Amino acid sequence: MKRWLALILVGALALTAYVGSGPYRTMRAIRVAVQAQDAAALSKQVDFPSVRASLKAQLSDRLVRKAGPGLQSSVFAALGLRLADSLIGPAVDTMVTPLGLGAIMEGRKEWAHASSGFAPPDPSARPADPLHGVVYRYESTSRFTATINDEQGIPTVFVVTRSGLDWRLSDIRLPPVASDSQS
């Protein structure tokens, strides 16, 4: 009886350790995929529909906030906002790909570099660590964040969520824009 109880306890501890280390293993797999410029490996670690939906919502919100209430009350400005908002979706769909995420994590300022794919690695250059200076944090038992600051100290937060025993990147919280923090 004691032997079975010990076996169950060891199994439960092993399962807890496996699930608890999941986000770290996922972020490591993302780091390795970006450094190796392996889009297929990166795509296994990312829930692209969730990331796209989140980014579309964040960008639409920024557009409306930037326009302000005065501009939103104008009929022509409202039409312009609707047109601009309709362009956000296709732009996000185009850029939120394994190549685009690789560009973000490598710290590239513009995603335009990703449109032509990963650049061939320079054999003499040491590959950049895409998660250099990352700060990890559990927000709950099924939500984990990795915060990366750029050269100016502006944070981008990568959210990893658990589904069953698997962890995947499901959200990218864009850094606040200077005018966002003032509103």
Strands (E), the chain: 135-140, 143-149, 155-163, 166-173
pLDDT (tens digit per residue) in 23-37: 999 999 988 888 887
Determine contact, residues 146/160, Cβ cutoff 8 Å: yes
Answer whether residue 117 shows pLDDT above 60.
no
- The whole-number pLDDT of residue 110 equals 44
pLDDT (tens digit per residue) in 74-108: 777 777 777 777 888 888 887 788 777 776 666 55
For the entire predicted model, the pTM comes to: 0.73
- Nearest one of 13, 36, 33, 35 to 25, comparing CA atoms: 33
| Sequence spans of domains, the chain | 2-182
- The whole-number pLDDT of residue 106 equals 62
Answer whether residue 150 shows pLDDT above 90.
no
